[in-house]
Amino acid sequence: MAKKKKARPISKLKKDLDKWFSLFIRLRYATTEGLTQCVTCGDVKHYKSMHCGHFMSRVHHSTRWHEDNCEVQCIGCNLYKQGQQYLFSVHIDNKHGEGTADELEFLSRTTVKYMRCDYEEQIEHYKNTVRQLIKDKQIEI
């Protein structure tokens, strides 16, 4: 009799989704050389040395994996300058339309409950998207 495969804990699924989502955010505007720009200070570095910055903190699951809430940030802006939230909000409104930052702030205060299948589906989506970006841009990983 075949052994039943043990389901991965939600914490592992969340960590895996964070990994693939972060890669997607850092690669979506990367050049073929893998260079990308910090949205708050303009610094240009390789995507591997940049962060996936969140306008509304990652603690809010309702916006944690929201593509409009996240952009490439350098380590200095993301960590040492607490994400440069005001500059981040200006960028979001310029890019997605006036009031988007306010909408994300409101959304961040809502409660969501993700099921195992939600995590698995999102992991698969971003894994495939990252692979396609790498292939299309011919970026070395």
* Cα dihedral value 20, 105, 116, 132, nearest 10: -30
Residue 74 lies in a domain: yes
Residue 19 lies in a domain: no
The confidence band for 118, taking pLDDT boundaries of 50, 70 and 90, is very high
Residue 92 lies in a domain: yes
Which residues, other chains included, contact 140 with Cβ-Cβ below 8 Å and sequence gap of 6+?
34
Name the residue with higher pLDDT: 111 or 6: 111
Residue 2 lies in a domain: no
pLDDT digits (tens, 9 = 90+) for 30-84: 999 999 999 999 999 999 999 999 999 999 999 999 999 999 999 999 998 988 9
**Which of 45, 63, 40 has the alpha carbon at shortest distance from 110?**
63
**Which of 9, 34, 24 has the alpha carbon at shortest distance from 70?**
24
Domain containing 57 equals 35-126
Residue 66 lies in a domain: yes
Span 106-119, average pLDDT: 95
* pLDDT at residue number 3: 62
pLDDT digits (tens, 9 = 90+) for 78-111: 998 988 999 999 999 999 999 999 999 999 999 9
* pLDDT at residue number 2: 59
Residue 25 lies in a domain: no
Number of domains in the chain: 1
The confidence band for 1, taking pLDDT boundaries of 50, 70 and 90, is low
Residue 50 lies in a domain: yes
Residue 21 lies in a domain: no
